[in-house]
């Protein structure tokens, strides 16, 4: 079963704008991860945020975590055409499971 669900399903913005994607969870968060996928092939790990963290940065990426709302957001600042991709959140199923469960993703299009 899915652990997280991304919102929106699709997002189209202009180059230079910021893009915000959200991920909501049904159960408790363990180690929430964000991945990027280009052209429907391999995924690239972007950032991991632990359940006791509230915010994390990596370059133009900013991830926040709100455990009370069971949600996380990925913000891409000053977007570029090369950021066009699908973005997925994922978390471990819990109970010590090593199964990483992915949401359906947000398809981001950055127009030049």
Partner 1 sequence: GAGVSQSPSNKVTEKGKDVELRCDPISGHTALYWYRQSLGQGLEFLIYFQGNSAPDKSGLPSDRFSAERTGGSVSTLTIQRTQQEDSAVYLCASSVNRVDGYTFGSGTRLTVV
Of 20-28, 31-39, 53-61, 66-74, which segment contacts partner 1 by CB under 8 A? 31-39
Residues 46-85 that bind partner 1 (CB under 8 A): 48
Q: Which two tokens stand for residue 16?
A: 């230079």
C-alpha triplet 76, 62, 10: angle, nearest 5°:
40
Of 14-22, 58-66, 73-81, 94-102, which segment contacts partner 1 by CB under 8 A? 94-102
**Residue 103 is a binding residue for partner 1 (CB under 8 A):** yes
Q: How far apart, in Å, do the first and last CA atoms of the chain sit?
A: 37
Q: Distance of CA 82 to CAs 61, 88, 97, Å?
A: 14, 17, 34
Q: Which residues would be at the binding site for partner 1 (CB under 8 A)? A: 2, 31, 33, 35, 40-45, 48, 88, 90, 92, 97-105
């Amino acid at each position: 079963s899915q652990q997280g669900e991304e919102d929106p399903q699709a997002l189209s913005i202009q180059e230079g704008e910021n893009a915000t994607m959200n991920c909501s969870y049904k159960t408790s968060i363990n180690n929430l991860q964000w991945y990027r996928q280009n052209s429907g092939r391999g995924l690239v790990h972007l950032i991991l945020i632990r359940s006791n963290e509230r915010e994390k940065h990596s370059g133009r990426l900013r991830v926040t975590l709100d455990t009370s709302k069971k949600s996380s957001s990925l913000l891409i600042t000053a977007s570029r055409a090369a950021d066009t991709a699908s973005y997925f959140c994922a978390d471990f199923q819990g109970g010590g499971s090593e199964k990483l469960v992915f949401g359906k993703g947000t398809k981001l299009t950055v127009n030049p």
